[in-house]
Amino acid sequence: MRLNAEFTTEPFVGEGEPPGHARAALRAAEEAGLSVDFGPLGTGVSGDDRTLLSALQRIVSAALAHGATRVTLQVETAGHAASAPTAEGGAGA
C-alpha cells in the first residue's frame, strides 16, 4: 500500500536557512528513498508502507537529535483527500 505523510519540526526560525533539525529530517527522508516535498512549514513524503513507516522512525529521531523540540506527524493512505473546511468552519463531507 502507498502512504503519504507530512511532518513539521519545531521550533520554527525566522527567514533564511532551515534549522538543523529540519535539514536532518529531510536528509533522513531522502536517504530512505522517499519522494520528498520540502516546504517552509512542513515536509511531505510518500512511499510504500514498509519503507515509509520504517523511515518515519529515522526521520523523527534525526530531527530530535538535531534540536527539534516537537515533531508533528500525519500519515494517510495515498489518494485519500483530507476533509476540507466548509464556509461555516466545519469539516467538509
Over the stretch 27-75, which tens digit does the pLDDT of each residue have? 999 999 999 999 888 999 999 999 999 999 999 999 999 999 999 999 9
Place of cell 494517510: 76
The dihedrals phi and psi of 30, each to the nearest 5 degrees, come to -65, -40
Nine cell digits for residue 83: 476533509
- What band does 79 get if pLDDT is binned at 50, 70 and 90? confident
C-alpha dihedral, 79 to 85 to 87 to 89, nearest 10°: 170
> Is the whole model's pTM more than 0.75, yes or no?
yes
